[in-house]
Structure formats: structure tokens, C-alpha cells
Structure 1
């Protein structure tokens, strides 16, 4: 570690931020896995509730810069397509 006091503080802050961000990304991956397992069960009510929570998380994390906004958009789009396919919705 550096000898300069301010850079030592910066290193500590960086480590805290990294751990916090890692925790948030882990939470996001856990929600994605829960969603995938719910898709396999086919319970539409639970799936839609989890989708709304997941959509909110993706938007929040993209606003904060934890993930890129295009990545959040891609995930939301793919998840919605899975719900759409599961519910049997067809375009008129």
C-alpha cells in the first residue's frame, strides 16, 4: 500500500465500494436465477411479480452505473419475451 495518507484512504474506499458493488451484482444474478426457475414452474402470477422487481433492480443499477443501460435493456427484453412466450400471447 502507498505511504501517502490520502491514497491509503482512497484504497480503503475503493475496497468498500468494490465489495458493495459485488454484493449488488450477486443479488441481481440471484434474482435472474429465481426468475429462470419460476419460468420452469409456469406460475404466471409469481413470474410477473418477480419480473416487476427485477425490472426495477435493472433500471436502478443501470442509473447508478453498476451495469450498462443497454445490458439492462437487453435483460428486460429477453425476460419479457420469456413471459410473453409462456403466456401464449400472440400479436394481432
Structure 2
């Protein structure tokens, strides 16, 4: 999206490293995601087992989340209806 692009440009202009990581990527491959984060902060990481990291946490989403998502997508699936924000003069970028 354009807001993400603006952040990408700002970070690049200021010489700052960043990592683009989605929830879906993290969920699909937590080990690879953790390795990416460790690499970004120049940290070494070792795994004690081959099963991957285990936080002991469980997914908490339920049918309510699914209903909210479906309602949001039905109301806002046409992104042309969103009003663009004008950041000129606000000090943003």
C-alpha cells in the first residue's frame, strides 16, 4: 500500500534497515521468520530442537474474528473508496 511505500522510502532515505514480515509469513514458517529478525539485529540464534521455536502460546482467533473480517471485506473491498491523505506540509516525508 502507499502508506507502506512511504515508510520504505523514509527508512531508505535515513539509511535505516528494516524487515518486512507479515503475520502469514510468521505463521507459515516461524523458524525462518525468527532467523530473519535475528539477522536484522545482528544476533546469533541457535535452536535446541528440530521442531522449531515453541512459545507455549495458542492461536486465539475464533468465529467472531472471522465474522468481523468478512464484514470488513464486504464493506471495504473496493479500495478506490478510501480517501487519500495529503501529508504535504505536515512534516511527513
Higher RCO (CA 8 Å, separation ≥ 6 residues): 1
After TM superposition, is the score higher than 0.5? Answer: no
